[in-house]
Chain A
Amino acid sequence: DQQVKQNSPSLSVQEGRISILNCDYTNSMFDYFLWYKKYPAEGPTFLISISSIKDKNEDGRFTVFLNKSAKHLSLHIVPSQPGDSAVYFCAASASGGTSYGKLTFGQGTILTVHP
């Protein structure tokens, strides 16, 4: 049972335009959400996160939006740059209980930004 889903395997955008990556989750216990970026042969790198008490978090060119009622979050990158080309993973965790910060990942979206 896949609790975090990224339904778009790939996304292609032009440099300077906006990239929007989407993520859906099913577990209502999730209250903390993260986006990671991964280059080939490297580990995932933390990008940005959002707590369930917020609906938006912004860090430079990256903004994450959370819609709790729809169990949906998205990552906006604007303007997109060729160096943003990578695999983006959405992840979620539940605080408290026995989760101990365990992250549940989506399957990733390959973003390609064309010059």
Chain B
Amino acid sequence: DTAVSQTPKYLVTQMGNDKSIKCEQNLGHDTMYWYKQDSKKFLKIMFSYNNKELIINETVPNRFSPKSPDKAHLNLHINSLELGDSAVYFCASRQTSGGGEQYFGPGTRLTVT
């Protein structure tokens, strides 16, 4: 059973479009994260939700909006996509009362043309 899953795995779209990436975890964790891995392979935090509440919001354009309908889901909606948004986006989850390790999904490769 997949612990952290993301859909879709690949997403190719044109500039200006709006798209969403979905993330679900079945680990019972209370905190979820979105990371972006850019072309230089750096993994950088974007957002974090704890029990559906936004707790981390790094310097990310307003075009990116996370939404957490419940503890097990954290979706990422991106408006007006730009070429520079092309990257791999990883979802992760963690139990705050547990160890510090986070468990990652398989990633969504977004290509904006």
Taking CB atoms, residues of chain B closer than 8 Å to A36 are: 104
CA–CA, A36 to B40, complex, Å? 17
User: Is A107 an interface residue, CB under 8 A from the partner?
Assistant: yes
Docked-complex contact A100 and B101, CB < 8 angstroms: no
CA–CA, A100 to B107, complex, Å? 22
User: Is A32 an interface residue, CB under 8 A from the partner?
Assistant: yes
- Residues from 25 to 53 in A contacting B, C-beta threshold 8 Å: 32, 34, 36, 41-46, 49
CA–CA, A71 to B92, complex, Å? 26
- Tally B residues with Cβ within 8 Å of A: 27
- Tally A residues with Cβ within 8 Å of B: 23
Taking CB atoms, residues of chain B closer than 8 Å to A45 are: 104
Docked-complex contact A100 and B44, CB < 8 angstroms: no
Docked-complex contact A43 and B105, CB < 8 angstroms: yes
Taking CB atoms, residues of chain A closer than 8 Å to B96 are: 100-101
User: Is A105 an interface residue, CB under 8 A from the partner?
Assistant: yes
- Residues from 66 to 109 in A contacting B, C-beta threshold 8 Å: 87, 89, 93, 95, 98, 100-105, 107-108
Known: A43-B107, A46-B102. A102 touches B4 (CB 8 A): no
Taking CB atoms, residues of chain A closer than 8 Å to B105 are: 43
CA–CA, A57 to B44, complex, Å? 26
Docked-complex contact B45 and A108, CB < 8 angstroms: no
Residues in chain A within 8 A of chain B (CB atoms): 32, 34, 36, 41-46, 49, 87, 89, 93, 95, 98, 100-105, 107-108
